[in-house]
Structure 1
């Protein structure tokens, strides 16, 4: 069974392309802060070790999924189109 991690912050790359805009994601799990690179988070989601969500203050949590653009995988929420706007709108965790 996978762990559930709530993502509450990101570290941005500075890229103007939103699908290339995330370097790392982070949050709190079991009372401790954590941070993974985008690739580590993708690997954890793909292996089903971890399920990640974004939990907006005024709504239900939304699953973080893996998108693909030009053969490159990246993180986005299930509510996003191609661009990971929900993740990019989170505070900086760096």
Structure 2
């Protein structure tokens, strides 16, 4: 069974392409320690089925999946179409 992690933060760029917009995501472990992963690592974790990621906004939980744009892998929420425009861009910047 895959481990689940809530994404609470994202490091973002000013790029317009969805595959270049978010570089890292992070959250908080159950023990209170912060975690941070590159998008490349998150995609590998999802592909391997070792991890499932999600975001939560106003009590609504939405799964995170990987997609491809111009041959590059990126992450988006399952509620999004091509552009990751609903929840991920609203996340605060990753600390540290």
Q: Report what 1:90 is aligned to.
A: 91
Q: CA deviation at 1:13?
A: 2.5
Partner of 1:6: 6
TM-score (norm 1): 0.90
Aligned residues: 93
* Structure 1: distance between partners of 2:93 and 2:41: 18
| Counterpart secondary structure, 2:42 | helix
SS, match of residue 91 in structure 1: coil
The equivalent of 1:54 in structure 2 is 55
Q: How far off its partner does 1:66 sit? A: 0.6
> What CA deviation, in whole Å up to 9, does each residue of 1:24-54 have, x standing for no partner?
0001122221000000110001101110000
5+ residue gaps, structure 1? none
Runs of 4+ in structure 1 off by over 6 angstroms are: none
TM normalised by structure 2 equals 0.88
